[in-house]
Amino acid sequence: MKKNMGIPDKALRLALAVIVVDLYYTNVINGTLAIVLGILAGIFTLTSFISFCPLYVPFGINTRKKEDEK
């Protein structure tokens, strides 16, 4: 598994996950929407920590800088 996510991409995903968690705990979202967004936030967090997004592979997307690939 070759890393394909750069720092800005990881930061954006983590920020979105934090926003979803905040919306849940302030009762702005609930029910099915909360479950779906919670799962998405978990996926965003996981992919941020491992620096790999499986959806990028079929499209050939790589947001990582060249000097980071070493």
How far is Cα 46 from Cα 63, in angstroms, rounded to an integer?
17
Per-residue model confidence as pLDDT tens digits over 12-68:
999 999 999 999 999 999 999 999 999 999 999 999 999 999 999 999 999 998 765
How far is Cα 50 from Cα 23, in angstroms, rounded to an integer?
25
Per domain, the residue ranges of the chain are 7-51
The region, left, alpha or beta by phi > 0 then psi within -120 to 50, assigned to residue 60 is left
Task: Tell me: pLDDT of 70 over 80.
Answer: no
Residue pair 57/3 in contact by the 8 Å Cβ criterion: no
